[in-house]
Structure 1
Amino acid sequence: METYKTFEDYFSHFNEDVIEKLEQIRIDIKKEIPEVEECIKYAMPTFIFHKKNLIHFASYKNHIGIYPGPEAITFYEKELSNYKTSKGAIQIPLEEDVPLDLIKKIVQHGKERILKTTKTTNK
């Protein structure tokens, strides 16, 4: 398994078309939730929010995998019906456009879930 240190390092292993899709996912998530942090976890680009995993994404031979966790897959089941999904993953075929609006909704949902489960103190 490759060891990547940054999103750029990860992206550099793909062709221009794939890099463009990965960058668009990255840009749109950062626009949607500017306070996210970038890191590499499980050898994939990952966004964290309040020190918790918000979403992972990665490119494969025939698809881009989006990993928002099982709760988001269940919540957006109808909107994801055109994609292959599993317990916590969405597969977007490389020949298709990335559903950026749906990804933005999924990360907002994830942000809300994290905020609900994160204990805050009012000091």
Structure 2
Amino acid sequence: MGQSPKCGRELKNTNQDHDCSEPPKTIDAYIAAQSESVRPLLNQVRDTLRAVLPDAEERISWRMPTYWRKHNIIHFAAFKNHIGLYPGDKAMEHFSDRLTEYKTSKGALQLPYSKPLPLELIAEIAKWCYETGHHH
């Protein structure tokens, strides 16, 4: 066990790296805290997810905007050079043939700011996660 010297938070490991800042409490607050150039892109992702997941609750989970309905359906987050979309490993497998132009990991997709957002694909992935019960 360790403790952050800055904020005093209990940590699993000594000298563990973490974010001392308070996590945002709402998706509005999360987006407002991002750079001006990134906010419109995050709002496009949010609007897309809201449209295909009308019954889902918006919340912050793992410090990221999350869509939830009995479980986390999908998350997204802003990074230095991309938006991360986190639909989980089953979705990444299911859509793998359509994700070849993006950097991916087991349960995540990186959408670089340098390319147009694939909003239709984001919508399809989110809807698939919701309908199948596969989630992050």
Runs of 4+ in 1 over 4 A off after TM superposition: none
Match of residue 73 from structure 1: 92
Report the CA distance between 1:25 and its aligned residue.
0.7
Residue 101 (structure 2) pairs with residue 86 (structure 1) = no
Task: Choose which of 32, 55, 75 in structure 1 pairs with 2:52.
Answer: 32
Pick from 60, 66, 72: which aligns with 2:79? 60
Q: Alpha-carbon deviation of 1:95?
A: 1.4
Please tell me the root mean square deviation across aligned C-alpha atoms, in Å. 1.2
Residue 104 of structure 1 pairs with residue 127 of structure 2: no
Is the radius of gyration larger for structure 1 or structure 2?
2
User: Which residue identity does 1:46 align to in structure 2?
Assistant: T
Percent pairwise identity: 40
* Alignment coverage as a number of residue pairs: 114
Structure 1 residue 8: Cα displacement: 1.2
CA distance in 2, matches of 1:10, 1:30: 16
- Displacement of 1:32: 1.2
**What is the CA distance between 1:33 and its match in structure 2?**
1.8
Q: CA deviation at 1:113?
A: 1.3
For structure 2, list consecutive stretches of 5 or more residues without a partner in the other structure. Answer: 1-18
Q: Return the offset for 1:103.
A: 0.5
Cα deviation code 1:47-77 (max 9, x no counterpart): 012x111100000001100000000000000
Letter in 2 for 1:26: R
2: distance between equivalents of 1:18 and 1:96?
13
Describe the superposition over 1:4-46 as per-residue Cα deviations: whole angstroms up to 9, x where unpaired: 1001111112222211111111111111121111000110000
Q: Normalized against structure 1, the TM-score is what?
A: 0.88
Amino acid of the structure 2 residue aligned with 1:37: E
Q: Distance in 1 between matches of 2:37 and 2:98?
A: 25
Q: Residue 110 of structure 2 aligns to a residue in which SS?
A: strand
TM-score by length of 2: 0.80
1:59 counterpart letter in structure 2: A
Q: Which residue matches 1:9? A: 29
**Counterparts of 1:25 and 1:109 in 2: how far apart (Å)?**
16
